[in-house]
Amino acid sequence: MEGTDMKYIYYPGCSASGTGRGYEESTLPVFEELGIEMVTLEDWNCCGATAYMSVDEAKAFALSARNLALAEDQFPDMDEVHIVAPCAACYLGLLKAKKYIDTDPKIGGTIRKALQSAELDYTGRAKVRHPLDVLVNDYGLDKLKEKVKRPLTGLKVAAYYGCQIVRPYSDFDEGHDPQTMDQVLEVLGVEAIEWPHKTRCCGGAQTWSSDPFLELVWIILKDAIGSGGDAVATACPMCQFNLECFQNKIRAKFDYQKKIPVVYFTQLMGLALGIDANKLGMNRLFERLELPASV
Amino acid sequence: MSDNGSVKNNWEPRIVAFFCNWCTYTGADLAGISRMQYRPNTRVIRLMCSGRLDPQFIMKAFREGADGVLVGGCHPGDCHYQEGNYKALRRITLLKKMLAQMGIEEGRLRLEWISASEGDLVQKAMNSMAETIRELGPLNLAEIPTPHSHDKEPVAAGVEGGA
Amino acid sequence: MYEKEIGMTTPELKPNGEKSRIGVYICHCGTNIAKTVDVEALREFAEKLPDVVAARTYKFVCSDPGQKMIRDDIQDPDLKVNRVVFVGCTPRLHEMTFRKVISEAGLNEYYLQVANIREHVSWVTPDKEEGTEKAKALLAGAVRRVHEHEALEQRRVPVNPDVLIVGGGIAGITAALTIADAGKKVYLVEREPSIGGYMAKFDKTFPTLDCSACILTPKMSSVKSHPNITLWAYSEVAEVDGYVGNFKIKIRRKPRYVDEDTCAGCYDCVEACVFKKPKFPDEFEVGMGLRKPIYIPFPQATPLKAVIDPNTCLQLTTGKCKQSCAEVCSKNSINFDQVEEIKEIEVGTVILATGFKAFDPVRSPEYGYGKYDNVYTSVEVERLCNAAGPTGGNVVLRDGTTPKSIAIVHCVGSRDKKTNAWCSRACCMYSLKLAHLVKERTDGEVFNFYIDMRTPGKSYEEFYDKILDEGVHFIRGRAAEVRNWALDEAEEGKLVVRAEDSMMGVVRRIPVDMVILSVGLEPHEDANEVARMFNMSCGTEGWFTERHPKLAPVHTFTDGVFIAGACQGPKDIPDSVSQAGAAASEVLALIDKGYIELEPNTAFIDEDKCSGCHTCIALCPYTAISFNEEKGKAEINEALCKGCGTCVAACPAGAAQQHHFTDDQIYEEIEGVLEYV
Amino acid sequence: MSKPKVGFYWCASCGGCEESVVDLAEDILGVVDAVDFVFFPVAMDFKRSDVEAMADGEMAVCMINGAIRTSEQLEMVELLRKKSQLIIAYGACSSLGGIPGLANLYSKESLLKAAYGDELSTTNPDYTLPQTEIKVKEGMLDLPELHDDVKSLDMVVDVDYYIPGCAPPVRLLKNALTAILEGNLPPKGAVLAPDIAVCDECSLNKTKPEKMLVSEYKRPHQDHIDPEKCLLAQGFLCLGPVTRQGCDAACPSVGMPCTGCQGPLGSVVDFGAKALSGIASILDSNDADEIAKLFDEIPDPAGTFYRYSYPKSQLFRRTNFKEETK
């Protein structure tokens, strides 16, 4: 078969069927088009993300650990089971749980005990991967280049990574000046613009509660636009949501007139691979992405 | 040789330890200085380096009545002589395999990396080694036959236990 | 023919024929031993052992009366004790003491064996009966072993009084002058075209703010002129052979393409170069200035000789140049055919003073170094501040304008798990110095972003106070990032430093014209190779490992090789200098003694038994074993051998043996500890 | 004057030792001129009764090959010990236990089961085992009893000298005979071969690299052997460095690794352990797992390092142990 000869487990996470629907709707067809085999994790549960983590760490770890254990269960005879978690929060949650269980005997003990009570076992075979990691390090940019049917030439995009997929536990990219998304975009024919706010905070869950956090979003948008971006590409449902949905509020608050579409990098991949925009959930965008005539 | 054949309740394992001068022997001194109590079954012989350990010493110890042999060297990478402990590791890895064929249980030969600052590990090793050997029981090597021992009774009789 | 053709197993003769008469001396060590070991029972047990002619106990055998007791037995005409077993504390405590005792009584000091019944018995065994039994076993082992002991002598090897010093920074220079002034010959090897190291780049030094050049350059020139110092700049150590007292070292001298002996350092060639203007980044100016392909690193360079960069010189790259430099040189010193030269020297001791490398902030992209023109490293700014530097001491931006506001970011590449975990020790102080210098030269606002202010050192804290009074701003908190992006008009066209002000508990954005990154100190990339060459080691961070962090800070685990300055760990100038002094005096002490004593427990080869199978040779970590081709036997250089015995254990023929740890001695001990108890 | 009387006897052995006498070729005539063979079952028709008829010490020397495993062998060697002034353990089996000695790795029961039990090649439905007596029409006959373990000759009778090898090199036999005839013998207990290892006389030894390190061990069938290079250096497990010479490195010099038949050197107390030490030490790895993995290529260490000397190992043998089932 084409693609990587590896087999991956797909962990959707809650946002995939909620605010982050467009992310899943673009990720799955893109991976299929590339021939990367991915089966959904059976009976998966909440990753125990940020909020829970701050309430009760042990329980949050246990939630994540169950997913890891299930994954190992699903591929009993693989030395390494690779879980692909597109959602940045899920990716971080699972990765953090794995790190602590693997390295901290006390936490590890507690969690394993908890798993046993559900007749589950986590041996460490499960690895947590982000789509960008898989694309660049497993699949390879050269192979991806061959697959591009419709180069997005002329499109200028600000690659926005957010904080969770590059800090603090992941190691597939640089924590302050990440490059993988830029590399993927360049392969698609996109011009990935040079801008300083690739990993700046998007306000996270706080944007709901208080205005000051709008400033954080505004900084990112202002810089993306100021640096000449036609669009922002994200790898996180939360970031995508924050950057997209508050643009009206921001224009009002900082009397700032510009708009910018905020898409998932996987949606841009889909377009370049020749998949129809509507099959990539792009119809859900508040701010439609206008492709330059050159495309 | 003194009697190590009969397993009475009061039978005490006899263990010979070969410790390197710079790490494990010093660690054993530290255990002493820190008054860490442990079982008295082990008799320590000092070598400058675990790399000096000739497998013949181990065979000799077993022959002379040791029920177990404990070897102590510096942690990998910390050898005072740079690489002696790796040589010990190579020899003992292969020796264990050979002893198994000869019917010597794996637990009777143990290699431990213990640094000069790890008196507690010396204490642990001494106790757990004594425990392991106690469970395994006496080694019971057959006497090496000599024309004279053979005059007394056919060596065969005393020796063969069989499977 | 018979003996020759049929060599055979003859029963082993005891060393030096004589019959053993063993004395056993059991120590109560107050109650330390007597409390949990029945010393009297031990004595009775000892008496019955073969060849034991005297067995005594005493409260403190190590005391004068105790020592006398032993001496008397040795000299007693009836007892004639000729082997001694001390039964008491660990040999690591008193083996030396009792060796001395018996040699005073006329016995070879190696006729002693120690049975350790304190650390290994009485202190770890609560039950007196068990303790006594175990003590008996150890005692018997010692008695059986001492039986096999042979008379040995400590070996002495002379120390070659010549010294090699690697690294011509302030540490190397100081050590070289100290030793040379003591009348010893010194080879000083420096990798760069000139000595001086980092100190030569600085304008002022903290905390006294005295001119760096003024205190350094006189030392540099006295190195040049010193009759006892051979200075080889632009050179590297290529190969190290030998051992303490007698190293054989090869030095690689890179070609300058200028004859060092005749070049007068007159600059004529530099003027005449076909490149009319300096065009290439100047190494000494850390890229802040430009130089020509032929250049003299800096006006006070030592040696003051031109050097040609083979990568930029037209003649050397293309072979097509009118060689105006050669034409103009009145001394005909230019020599394009010069090739690398290997010098072989013999020295007795070595001092490594290879210094440090400044952290490359590209590895911390959050600070935008290399991305934004006006982000500088502290070393670059040292050059800007230097009157002899590219800007004549004016602190100006790349566009020539004077910055009105300057940020100094501390701990770049220090105290950061992402890069280097350690504190680089000198940065706080040099940042304060730079704060002073740039403020003085620009009259701008200066902001220091620091995690903690570390000023341990004579009049360092006072210096900090002085800078505070000068109106420099201090913001406590690691700078998060440096960006060129403006949130409002005030920030337009500026660099913005974002940091949490942990005093005020707010995140602050400080727009500035210039950012100075106070880069940390790092080991050189090739520190590990150098360590391997000298058979010593580096810590995980890459600094050279000292023999003891407190008690032997300039020693290494290789006898005769010492370390000084920042190659051992981050240091400022005063510390480097004092360490250089310490290393120098260690070297002089060794030279003054004149010889090295080596424990005789070395390995040796019984030639009659050696079949030349080579098994031992690769196993020696000290390359002490070599193969004698004409004899077809292995040979051990006892001066190189450290006595680990690895080769002995491996020798398939039992031809390799180790003095004081022979197979027979150990077999006897094995039998001893098992046979009687 | 009468010629010295010489005896030659075999116990648990293959007959190769006798062959080695024939290897004397025409020199054998010289020997026959010099001595009288008074007992030599494989070659001449003498009976036990002839030996019993001899006066004690009537034979000058008796060379005995083969290990001791049966009651008959024991009786015979005790008899020969009485009748001969010198007893020479001839060959690996009688000196060290030899190949038969490896039987000590197993209990008699399991060996009999293997030989007479339900192995594929065996048809023995009612599992008949060797008997100690059998009824014939003339009456009852004694049969030799199989001892529980294999012993070297010197474990049952005093041995004056040893001639090593499987089979002993003719050169050693000649030297020994000359020595006996010239009455020029070394002290009792000597091994009549040079006390230095095979490498010393091996033509390949000069091809050794200065530093002998082996990245992996191979068995001869696993790779092409370069007969011009030191076999050990090529990674073939050659025991030349541990083994007493006298064989002119017969095996290595034709590209076959030395298996140690000439036995240990004088200063070695346990051949297997010493051989193992040399071989293990030069394995070029410091990683515990890798080392274990590389040693998997030595599947039978006991059979490799004690091939000819197991009964002479320091352990002799373990009693009451659970042997690995074959």
Whether omega for the bond prior to residue B154 falls within 30 degrees of 0, making it cis, is: no
3-state secondary structure of A268: helix
Burial class (CB in 10 A: 0-12, 13-18, 19+), D156: buried
All residues of chain C having their beta carbon less than 8 Å from the beta carbon of residue D242 are: 652-653
Say whether both D120 and D157 belong to one domain: no
Say whether both D164 and D295 belong to one domain: no
Residue B108, in any domain of the structure: yes
- Report the chain C residue with the minimal C-alpha distance to residue D245: C611
**Distance (Å, rounded) from C-alpha C518 to C-alpha C406?**
13
Looking at this protein, which amino acid is placed at residue C280?
F
Asked if C449 contacts C397 with a C-beta cutoff of 8 angstroms, the reply is no
Burial class (CB in 10 A: 0-12, 13-18, 19+), D172: buried
- The reply to whether D187 touches chain C by the CB within 8 Å rule is yes
Q: Which chains touch C (3 or more CB pairs under 8 A)?
A: A, B, D
**Distance (Å, rounded) from C-alpha C472 to C-alpha C466?**
10
Q: How many contacts (CB atoms, under 8 Å) link B and C?
A: 124
Asked if C50 contacts C37 with a C-beta cutoff of 8 angstroms, the reply is no
Bridge-partner residues for C511, per DSSP? C496
Asked if A6 contacts A82 with a C-beta cutoff of 8 angstroms, the reply is yes
Backbone angles phi, psi at B120, to 5 degrees: -65, -35
* C 29-58 → A contacts, CB under 8 A: none
CATH number for the domain whose boundaries are C22-152? 3.40.50
Q: Does the pLDDT value for residue B159 go beyond 60?
A: no
* Axis crossing angle, helix A88-103 with helix A57-74, rounded to the nearest 10: 90
Q: Which of C119, C674, C675 is nearest residue B29 as measured by Cβ atoms?
A: C119
Best of B26, B37, B45, B90 to substitute, by most chain C Cβ atoms within 10 angstroms, is: B45
Residue D171, in any domain of the structure: yes
Radius of gyration of chain B (CA): 17
Residue C247: its H or E element: strand C246-253
Residue B98 pLDDT level (bands cut at 50, 70, 90) = very high
All residues of chain C having their beta carbon less than 8 Å from the beta carbon of residue B21 are: 92
Q: Does the pLDDT value for residue B154 go beyond 80?
A: no
- Choose among C26, C152, C25: nearest CA to C84: C25
Measured from the Cβ of residue C222, the count of other Cβ atoms closer than 10 Å reads 16
- Choose among C232, C231, C254: nearest CA to C308: C254
3-state secondary structure of D123: coil
Question: Which is higher by pLDDT, A103 or B28?
Answer: B28
For residue C214, give Cα distances in angstroms to C31, C204, C383: 65, 9, 16
Note the pLDDT tens digit of each residue in C63-73: 999 999 999 99
Looking at this protein, which amino acid is placed at residue C433?
K
Say whether both D9 and D155 belong to one domain: yes
**Distance (Å, rounded) from C-alpha C368 to C-alpha C125?**
64
Q: Does the pLDDT value for residue B161 go beyond 70?
A: no
Note the pLDDT tens digit of each residue in C322-355: 999 999 999 999 999 999 999 999 999 999 999 9
- Report the chain B residue with the minimal C-alpha distance to residue C671: B64
Distance from the Cα of C640 to chain A's closest Cα (Å) equals 44
Note the pLDDT tens digit of each residue in C612-653: 999 999 999 988 999 999 999 999 998 789 899 999 999 999
Chain-chain contact of A196 with C365 (C-beta, under 8 angstroms): no
**Distance (Å, rounded) from C-alpha B84 to C-alpha B82?**
6
Say whether both D169 and D21 belong to one domain: yes
**Distance (Å, rounded) from C-alpha A214 to C-alpha A24?**
26
Half-sphere exposure for A208 (CA within 13 Å, toward CB):
4
Total-model pTM: 0.66
**Distance (Å, rounded) from C-alpha B106 to C-alpha B113?**
17
| Helices (runs of H) and strands (runs of E) counted in chain B | 6, 4
Say whether both D110 and D174 belong to one domain: no
All residues of chain C having their beta carbon less than 8 Å from the beta carbon of residue A221 are: none
- The reply to whether D258 touches chain C by the CB within 8 Å rule is no
The full set of domain ranges for chain C reads 22-152, 268-328, 357-522, 599-659
For strands C246-253 and C341-347, give the pairing: antiparallel
- The reply to whether C214 touches chain D by the CB within 8 Å rule is no
Chain-chain contact of C649 with D209 (C-beta, under 8 angstroms): no
Chain-chain contact of D196 with C663 (C-beta, under 8 angstroms): no
- Choose among C56, C278, C248: nearest CA to C160: C248
Residue range of the domain that includes D85: 5-99+149-182
- Report the chain C residue with the minimal C-alpha distance to residue B120: C124
What tokens were used for C120? 């290994």
Whether omega for the bond prior to residue D299 falls within 30 degrees of 0, making it cis, is: no
Q: Which of A165-179, D81-95, D169-183 has the highest mean pLDDT?
A: D81-95
Note the pLDDT tens digit of each residue in C451-505: 999 999 999 999 999 999 999 999 999 999 999 888 888 999 999 999 999 999 9
Return all residues near D193 (Cβ < 8 A) that are at least 6 apart.
C6, C8, D163, D164, D165, D172, D244, D245, D246, D262
Decide which of 3.30.70.270, 1.20.1050.140, 3.40.50.300, 3.40.640.10 is the CATH code for A41-129.
1.20.1050.140
Chain-chain contact of D291 with B143 (C-beta, under 8 angstroms): no
Return all residues near D9 (Cβ < 8 A) that are at least 6 apart.
D39, D40, D41, D62, D63, D64, D65, D76, D77, D80
Q: Which chains touch B (3 or more CB pairs under 8 A)?
A: C, D
What is the structure's pLDDT at B12?
93
Bridge-partner residues for A7, per DSSP? A37
All residues of chain C having their beta carbon less than 8 Å from the beta carbon of residue A174 are: 365
pLDDT over 70, % of chain B = 85
Residue B100, in any domain of the structure: yes
Q: What is the average per-residue pLDDT within A11-24?
A: 92
Q: Which of B28, B48, B123 is nearest residue C645 as measured by Cβ atoms?
A: B48
Q: Does the pLDDT value for residue A12 go beyond 60?
A: yes
Whether omega for the bond prior to residue C218 falls within 30 degrees of 0, making it cis, is: no
Chain-chain contact of B159 with D317 (C-beta, under 8 angstroms): yes
Q: What is the CATH number of the domain that holds B49?
A: 3.40.50.960
**Distance (Å, rounded) from C-alpha C424 to C-alpha C379?**
14
For strands A262-264 and B15-20, give the pairing: unpaired
Q: What is the tally of structural domains in chain B?
A: 1
- Report the chain C residue with the minimal C-alpha distance to residue A224: C485
- The reply to whether D104 touches chain C by the CB within 8 Å rule is no
Residue A55 pLDDT level (bands cut at 50, 70, 90) = confident
Please, what is the Cα angle at C166 between C163 and C167, to 5 degrees?
135
Note the pLDDT tens digit of each residue in B76-91: 877 888 899 999 999 9
> Which CATH architecture does the domain made up of C599-659 adopt?
2-Layer Sandwich (3.30)
All residues of chain C having their beta carbon less than 8 Å from the beta carbon of residue D282 are: 615, 618-619, 650
Looking at this protein, which amino acid is placed at residue D214?
V
Return all residues near C37 (Cβ < 8 A) that are at least 6 apart.
C117, C121, C122, C128, C131, C132, C135
**Distance (Å, rounded) from C-alpha C244 to C-alpha C558?**
8
Return all residues near B49 (Cβ < 8 A) that are at least 6 apart.
B20, B21, B22, B73, B79, B80, B81, B84, B85, C644, C645, C646
Backbone angles phi, psi at C236, to 5 degrees: -140, 155
The full set of domain ranges for chain A reads 41-129, 148-284
Chain-chain contact of C483 with A226 (C-beta, under 8 angstroms): no
Residue B80, in any domain of the structure: yes
Say whether both D118 and D214 belong to one domain: no
Q: Which chains touch D (3 or more CB pairs under 8 A)?
A: B, C
Q: Which of D107, D147, D280 is nearest residue B94 as measured by Cβ atoms?
A: D280
Return all residues near C82 (Cβ < 8 A) that are at least 6 apart.
C18, C20, C21, C22, C74, C107, C111
For strands A156-160 and A37-40, give the pairing: unpaired
Residue range of the domain that includes B55: 12-136
Note the pLDDT tens digit of each residue in D41-62: 988 899 999 999 999 999 999 9
Chain-chain contact of D318 with B141 (C-beta, under 8 angstroms): yes
Chain-chain contact of D295 with B146 (C-beta, under 8 angstroms): no
Residue C155 pLDDT level (bands cut at 50, 70, 90) = confident
Q: How many contacts (CB atoms, under 8 Å) link C and D?
A: 119
Q: What is the average per-residue pLDDT within A187-213?
A: 86
Tell me yes or no: is domain A148-284 CATH 3.40.50.11810.
yes
Chain-chain contact of C650 with D281 (C-beta, under 8 angstroms): yes
Q: What is the tally of structural domains in chain D?
A: 3
All residues of chain C having their beta carbon less than 8 Å from the beta carbon of residue A177 are: 365-366
3-state secondary structure of B69: strand
Looking at this protein, which amino acid is placed at residue A172?
F
Say whether both D94 and D206 belong to one domain: no
- Choose among A187, A193, A192, A190: nearest CA to A148: A187
All residues of chain D having their beta carbon less than 8 Å from the beta carbon of residue B86 are: 286
Residue A180 pLDDT level (bands cut at 50, 70, 90) = very high
Note the pLDDT tens digit of each residue in C169-201: 999 999 999 999 999 999 999 999 999 999 999
- Choose among C652, C655, C650: nearest CA to C634: C655
- Choose among A71, A79, A65: nearest CA to A10: A71
- The reply to whether A33 touches chain C by the CB within 8 Å rule is no
- Choose among C611, C622, B51, C645: nearest CA to D208: C611
Distance from the Cα of D114 to chain C's closest Cα (Å) equals 35
Return the C-alpha torsion angle D304, D307, D312, D317, nearest 10.
70
Q: How many contacts (CB atoms, under 8 Å) link B and D?
A: 154
Distance from the Cα of B4 to chain C's closest Cα (Å) equals 10
What is the structure's pLDDT at B9?
58
Q: Of how many residues is chain C composed?
A: 677
Say whether both D122 and D216 belong to one domain: no
